[in-house]
Amino acid sequence: MSAQMEFDPRRLVESFAGICRDILVRPRDFFRSLPHAGSILNPLLFLAICVFLSCLCMANILKGDYRLLLLLVSTNLLSDFVMSAILHGLVKKAFSSSVPFAATFRVIAYSSLTDLAAWIPFAGTIATFYGLYLIFLGLQEIHQLRPRHAGIAVIAITALSLGAGIAALIAGRDWLHLSEISPLPAPLE
């Protein structure tokens, strides 16, 4: 394991590359080495970089303007905070974890590395499932959960995220006038 434990924005490129390498090559060791408490600023900056880059690619693919980019970035960041809070509440109540919220947020923030490839056809599916695996490993290491408990938490948060994502897509579609880009099928009569 490299000496680096958390993202350091003062060494932006070197730190980002090191974190990416550690998450991809030694994810269990990476999560094991993370601090459980402290400021969430550095993980938040790592998350923001991953979210911005992936949303920029997605907005370009959808031929969207700055409104789509802002919507994608803001909803992604907000959903990561909400997901962290729900996940934290779940593992705290259901599995008696005493680890602080900052640790759960770190798991979500660093697992967001996979968002960088989530917009790529086929590779995005693999990246998304790897992201879920990273959350699974992170929960095991940070919260000391048994595999079954970490799996239940990941399945629960995935189901909630899917439902919220579908609702947001339907609600945001008209606001962004995306129906001109990819129309929904006509309703059956």
Indicate the average pLDDT of the chain. 88
Of 86, 143, 136, the closest CA to residue 128 belongs to: 136
Distance, first Cα to last Cα, the chain: 60
pLDDT class of 169 with cuts at 50, 70, 90: confident
Tokens of 43: 């993980």
Taking only the tens place, the pLDDT of each residue in 45-101 is 999 999 999 999 989 888 888 888 998 999 899 999 999 999 999 999 999 999 999
CB 19 within 8 A of CB 130: no
Residue with token string 């059956």: 188
Q: How does residue 165 score in pLDDT terms, banded at 50, 70 and 90? A: confident
Please state, in angstroms and rounded to a whole number, the distance separating the CA atoms of residues 70 and 171. 16
The region of weakest confidence among 7-21, 44-58, 145-159, 171-185 is 171-185
Is the separation of the CB atoms in 111 and 134 below 8 Å?
Answer: yes
Main-chain phi, psi angles of 43, to 5 degrees: -60, -35
- In 10 A of CB 56, how many CB atoms? 14
Residue 33 CA, chain-centre distance (Å), reads: 19
Alpha carbon 6 to its chain's center: 16
